[in-house]
Each structure stands twice: as C-alpha cells, then as structure tokens.
Amino acid sequence: MLRGPAGTRSRTIAIVVALLIVGAGLVAVRLMSGALRPQSVRDALTSLSAGTPLEAFPIAPIALITILAAILVVPIFPAIVFQVGSGLAFGPAWGLVYTLVADVLGASVGYLLAQRWGAQLLHRWLSPSTASAVERMAARLSWKGVILLRLLPGPAYPLVSFAAGLSGMSLGRYLLASFLGVLPSLILLVISGDIATRAPLVGVLIVVVFVGSLTLVGHLLRRTAKTSEAEG
C-alpha cells in the first residue's frame, strides 16, 4: 500500500491519467459515429452544451482539453484533428488558449509518469526498441533539444515527455521549452481551422507552407549541431 507524500503523488498521477483516458473515451464515442475530421470535432463540441441545464458551464472547452491532453499522453487519435477542430469550434483566440492548456496538461502528465515510474513504465507500455530509443533520448536531452523536437514534425509527442521525465530536467524548464516549441505550430493549426470555414484552400496552404518551413529549419539546425559537435 502506498503511503506518505510519494504515495499521495502516485495516486494523484494515476487519478489524473484515469480521468484523461475516461474523458477521451467518452468524447471518442460521440465522434466515432462519423469520420474523425476537424468538422466532426467541431460539431461534437458544439452539441455538448446545447439543450442542457448547464449551458453556462464550459462543457465543450473542458471536453476538448481533456481529450486532447489524453491524446498527448496516449496517442489513440491524431492530435492535429482536435487542434484544427478547436479553431473551427472556438475561433482562433480561444481555440489557441484551449489547445495550449491541453498541451501543458498532456506534457505534464507524460513527464510525471516517466519521472515517477521511470523505465519500468516505459518497458511495460512500449516495445523494447522504442523504450531503448526513449532512454537514449533522455541521456542527451536538453531544454534546447525539447524545443527542437517539439518544433519539428517527427518524434511522437509522448516519447519526448517520457524522455524529459527520465532526463532529470526540471518540470518547469521542460514545460517552458515544450511550450515554446509547440506554440508556432499550434498558432498556425488553430488559425487554419478557423480560416477553413471561410477559405478552405487558404487554410490548407498555410499548414503545408508552415510544415515545409519547419522541416527546412530543422534540417538546418541539425546540420549546424553536427558541425559544432565535429569542430568540438
């Protein structure tokens, strides 16, 4: 039986993870009746508060934050669908706020899971090769590396969180680096979702150009890092 501060912390993490997974499942049930698209996410969120006695209660934002945070810990659905859907449902300003809150929550849970249960959790949830890759990433991860990994399309979001939790990096430094890394892409994704209602082609073009730019920047940064290591 778990006792003391460590036990309380473990129970808190377990409860948060359970709530995220249950919330994700409930919203998923609503969405699985149709294709999982940003438009279906918008429709599901819009309908959550309609016709209920709690219309003044922010049910839809809480549902979005819950399921998106869960996806960033256990990627059962593509997060991008919900990030674009947030812009469709709430507009660019509030859509961005809600996705950022979900991002911080999901990143925190992934970090705390790895910090508390460490390699035992990774080897139970992940394949041996993936767990080894996360451990190698953790051994050389820095806050600059977190920004780069969050900025670029590539490594799965939860794996970076797990690696940060194993690396010994403080939670505050990790969350700040993660926030700075995801902010540009979230801004563009949420804006593209809002624009898609008026000019779909413009929204698609924004995402394509932005992802291409990030990829180019990433290659340049990696090349610079390799050059610096070689000179050192």
Average pLDDT, the chain: 74
Among 175, 1, 207, 26, which residue's Cα sits nearest to residue 101? 175
- What pTM, to 2 d.p., does this model score? 0.73
User: What's the pLDDT score for residue 54?
Assistant: 45
The predicted-structure confidence for 167-185, as pLDDT tens digits, reads as follows 889 999 999 999 998 998 8
The predicted-structure confidence for 151-168, as pLDDT tens digits, reads as follows 776 557 888 998 999 888
CB-count burial class (<10 Å; 0-12, 13-18, 19+) for 86:
buried
